[in-house]
Amino acid sequence: MPSRGRTAVVKTPVPKNVLVFIPAYNEAGNLAATVAELRACYAGIAILVVDDGSRDGTGRVARSLGARVAAHPVNLGAGGGAQTAFRYALANGFDVVVQHDADGQHDPQYIPALLEVLAAGGADVAVGSRYRGPRGYSSSAWRRAGIWFFSFVTTLATGQKFTDVTSGQRAYNRRALQTLARQFPAEFPDAEALVAIKRAGLRVREIAVSMRPRRGGCSKTTFGRALSYPLKSILAVGVELLRRRHGAPREEL
């Protein structure tokens, strides 16, 4: 089992068709340690940093580390960054994208477990959940309550039980990339994205992971976003339930 502290050096090869995508908005202070940890664990790993309109030199730091960089001139949000990564992967011959946050919360030793879920053919999207096994870092009671709420409404909307819909530790196979590269929820790609993913006929599976505190800096979720997110999630559930009741056909994204 991966440790609850920083990851020990493992040096495991990663398939060449796998791209690790790091979404980054003003993460210059955390990026070097995150990239170094990934490279310490996985030989020859392909890393793409999506610099989402940062003002702190995040893109410059990423280039100095030898990572691939896709830069947005303005901040598009987490969903816009993910869609850029999906399109980049398809255009450059990658079949799998692993999302790995810049702030150090994600333990890279779980990447093989995410890849194994996709390779087994039982899912198109694999999600790391803090609440399916022994937990490491535990966030505040308010944040845990929020995660429970979003997981509940997503479970209600999709008919599949989810325990950690705000987790950014995810892996996507080629089928998912081809679907999500065309359209992806822009502002809050968590609960909304999972509802859209399920509606498009993609299969999702959660696996147990442990997460850690941020290395530095603060969350990019503003007070305004925190207030609007529950309202958007409830709206997404309502739309999905209406579609089910009236037998609306499944949509392609």
Range of the domain at 91: 15-245
What is the domain-level CATH number for residue 232?
3.90.550.10
Q: What percent of the chain has pLDDT over 70?
A: 76
pLDDT of residue 178: 96
Higher-pLDDT residue of 137 and 126 is 126
Instruction: Name the one residue in this structure whose structure tokens are 């892996």.
Output: 171
In angstroms and rounded to an integer, the radius of gyration of the C-alpha atoms of the chain is: 17
**CA–CA dist 144, 129 (Å, integer):** 12
Phi and psi, residue 83, nearest 5°: -65, -40
Query: Euclidean distance between the first and final Cα of the chain, in Å?
Result: 36
At residue 147, the pLDDT reads 81
- Give domain status of residue 251, yes or no: no
Does residue 9 sit within a domain? no
pLDDT (tens digit per residue) in 186-239: 665 577 888 888 988 999 999 999 998 877 555 544 444 555 656 666 665 666
Quote the pTM value.
0.84
Domain count, the chain: 1
In a domain, 252, yes or no: no
207: in domain: yes
The answer to whether residue 38 sits within a structural domain is yes
Residue type, 145: A
Query: For residue 5, is it within any domain?
Result: no
Domain membership flag for residue 152? yes
Give a yes or no: residue 7 inside a domain.
Answer: no
